[in-house]
Structure 1
Amino acid sequence: MKRNQSGMTLIGFVLILGMVGVFIYMGMKLIPMYSEYYAVKEALKEMSQEADISQQDPGRIKDAFFRRLYISYAENVKSENVKIARKDAGYVMTVDYEVRRPLIANIDVVGHFNAEQVLSRSLE
């Protein structure tokens, strides 16, 4: 009786291991970008819940926003990426930025992120 062996060859195992390694490497590049984006969204949400945020001038609002980002180690958002516009009885704060990370050789991963939050006066 002849027995046939079945299973994965060494070459197949190395190829699967290589593919898994590439996906893990890409995840290591992408996860910090999205983590920073969620920190930006959380900072905007916290600012919208402050009682007197809409009564402050835009410069103070930007300073408060960047203080929150400093705590979260968000380093890709610059002052020129933050826009504050007057709307009704408050402001609309828009954060629009891009993150570019090198992946392999001359291939980069680019993430474009946009978050917007209305900062309106609290009804007292």
Structure 2
Amino acid sequence: MINKQRGMGLFGIFFVAMGLVFSSIVVMKVVPAYLEYGAIKKVFKVIANDPAMKDAKAGAIRESYTRRSSIDNITSVTADDLDISHDDNGKLLISASYHVEKPLFSNVGIYIDFKPTSAEAP
């Protein structure tokens, strides 16, 4: 009796390995951008919930953001990028809009848009 071979061939192993390498590269490029986005949202919420900032002027809010962002090593959003407003209840709202470009190889890259805000998600 002839037994059929089972398993993956050399080309199969090669394609699986290439897929894993590509996925790993994408994850290593994207994760830091999302970690910084989380840090920005956290800073926005801390400032918005600070009682001292409730009636503060925009300059004081921007200064507070600058101090807090330097602690968390936030470089994508500066104090000048902040949109500062108040909702109908008088609660401070801080938001921004920015994008991150991460090159993968040659002329191919990843482009991610972020819009962090201090508003609570519905």
Q: Which range, TM-score by smaller chain?
A: 0.7 to 0.9
SS at match of 1:2: coil
Q: Which runs of 5+ in 1 are unaligned?
A: 119-124
5 Å-filtered alignment, 1:75-90, equals 75-87=75-87, 89-90=90-91
Distance 1:91 1:46, change over 3 A: closer
Percentage of pairs with the same residue: 25
SS, match of residue 74 in structure 2? coil
Aligned to 2:13: 13
User: Counterpart of 2:103?
Assistant: 102
SS in 1 for 2:117: strand
- Structure-1 separation of matches of 2:48 and 2:14: 51
Q: CA RMSD in A?
A: 1.7
Extract unaligned runs of 5+ from structure 2.
none
Whose strand fraction is larger, Structure 1's or Structure 2's? 1
**1:121 counterpart residue number:** none
In structure 2, do the counterparts of structure 1 residues 110 and 80 end up closer, same or farther at CA, with 3 Å as the change threshold?
A: farther
- TM score, norm. by length of structure 2: 0.86
Question: Which letter maps to 1:117?
Answer: S
TM-score (ref. length: structure 1): 0.85
